Amino acid sequence: MTTTPWMTILLVVPAVGALLVSMLPKGSDLLAKQLALGFSLLTLVLTAVACVQFDIGPGAQRFQFVQHHDWISALGVTYSVGADGIALVLIALAALLVPLVLLASWDTVEGLLDIEGPDARLTPQKSVKTFFALMLVLESFMIGVFAATDVFLFYVFFEAMLIPMYFLIGMYGGPRRSYAAVKFLLYSLVGGLLMLAAVIGLYVQSGKRTFRFDELLNLNLSHSAQMWLFLGFFIAFAIKAPLFPFHTWLPDAGAEAPTGGAVLLVGVLDKVGTFGFLRYCLPLFPWAAHKAAPYVITLSVIGVIYGALLAMGQKDLKRLVSYTSVAHFGFIGMGCLAFTTQAGTGAVFYMVNHGLSTGALFLVIGFLIDRGKSRLVTDYSGIAKVAPVLAAMFFISGLSSLALPGLSTFVSEFLVLVGTFTRYKVAAGIATTGIVLAAIYILLAYQRTMQGALSTAHENMKDLKPREVAAVAPLLVLMLFLGFYPKPVTDIINPAVKATMQDTQSTDPAPTDAMPHRVSTGN
């Protein structure tokens, strides 16, 4: 096993890039963009090398690239980082999306929509240098939150992520950016305070004077202590996820955030919540997790249907995509708490695929809004006639969002539903209706904006530039590749999910025969 401290390297590289970008003199916008893109691409290359070196063979360690160093010795807090398969694929997702987001945001930072409709105008915003530096800071924190194997360190990164995202929404967002940024911050802070209380409670109850995840496993906690601590972590993660009914901040934040910020918010940051379910809620509090599972499954199923229905009625394109994510996170939450290997693997794979499909959808819609100067569905019609490449990418991204067979989201959704069905048949059956509803809201949005008669206001709309195609194309290629061959990712995820199931003392249900056995009469 390699001793290279990959997690620390991946943490430091974008942080150094952010520092260098922030130190550039005023007016160095192009250099700031180039430097930020260069550091994000370097992070992506290093992440790819780490993934290749990750051992998935028999007898491999669960956590690899591990480092432990004292940080706050008096409290037993350590700088402990490492990655299992679940963390690694999410780190890879963050490393992939950031350079694509930077590429997509290349010419759209200087001015953003101040109002909507035909009178929309661009207004000067904060500096380009600040935007690209914040993106790199956010990347560093996202990697840190997935890599942390000390509960206190995880909490630090969990809260630190709020800072760059708050400024990205508040400084570079849409017309209601201040409201959306404050709402996002308040919801997240409430969840963070609950988790801090639970972290302190875990420290006291354990009696071990440590926050290291590996040393907190298999604690002999009372059932009541488990339940209270579980709730503290769960609510914080449910807000972050966002799981119904804790989701209400997302439509505003997703709609008002700049396109690049929205991609990372919904594509990566929200995954911290469902990642937290698997990393902390289930292994540390197995009894409480089993008791709470039916209720969480119920909330998840409601979220699938509720998110899909609300998405169908949205007139704002970015709010539409945000509500689709509420539905998708219902599937992910269901898979996390189904306590089967299939559902768990499907949930983690769904996190990756959701980042790809929703990231692509947000990027394409962002390009459309930049050209049409409006976020309203009703302001567009017949766009495919003048921008066929944009329309094609919208269509493929939409098909991925509705989990069309042959695209990667289908594999993950199928695994979640099959794995959940073995324990919660009714819930899985109801959740399948979300697939039909997804087809309705995606195809309606495509039909209303891309098909029909072309409005005179958009007769001169330009199709996607090569740079914009380059920002979306890798996501579409991965959707297709993983739709037909998901093995490279699922092979990394599977051992970590199985280890999590062992931590919770869960076993997959034995298969049952669908047909009754014939009883011999002896004749």
Are residues 242 and 249 in contact, defined by beta-carbon separation less than 8 angstroms?
yes
**Two tokens, residue 226:** 């488990």
pTM: 0.90
Task: Collect all residues with Cβ–Cβ distance below 8 Å to 168 and sequence separation of at least 6.
Answer: 131, 134, 135, 138, 257, 258, 260, 261
Helix, strand or coil, per DSSP, at residue 519: coil
Residue 511 confidence (pLDDT)? 64
Q: Are 317 and 365 a contacting pair, CB within 8 Å?
A: yes
Helices of type H across 173-222: 177-206, 213-216
pLDDT of the residue at 109 = 66
pLDDT tens over the chain, length 523 residues: 567 899 999 999 999 999 999 888 887 888 989 999 999 999 999 999 999 999 888 888 889 999 988 888 888 889 999 999 999 999 999 999 999 999 998 887 654 444 444 444 444 446 788 899 999 999 999 999 999 999 999 999 999 998 999 998 888 887 888 888 888 888 888 888 999 999 998 888 887 788 888 888 888 888 888 899 999 999 999 998 888 888 888 888 888 888 888 899 888 988 898 999 999 989 999 999 999 999 999 999 999 998 888 888 888 888 888 888 888 888 999 999 988 998 999 999 999 999 999 999 999 998 998 888 888 888 888 888 888 999 999 999 988 888 888 888 899 999 999 989 888 889 888 888 888 888 888 888 888 888 888 877 778 888 888 999 999 999 999 999 999 999 999 999 999 999 888 888 777 776 655 444 444 444 3
Question: What is residue 427's three-state secondary structure?
Answer: helix
Q: How open is the CA angle 7-10-15, to the nearest 5 degrees?
A: 130
Give residues with Cβ within 8 angstroms of 235, minimum separation 6.
191, 194, 246
Q: Which two tokens stand for residue 523?
A: 């004749």
Which phi and psi angles does 405 have, rounded to 5°? -55, 135
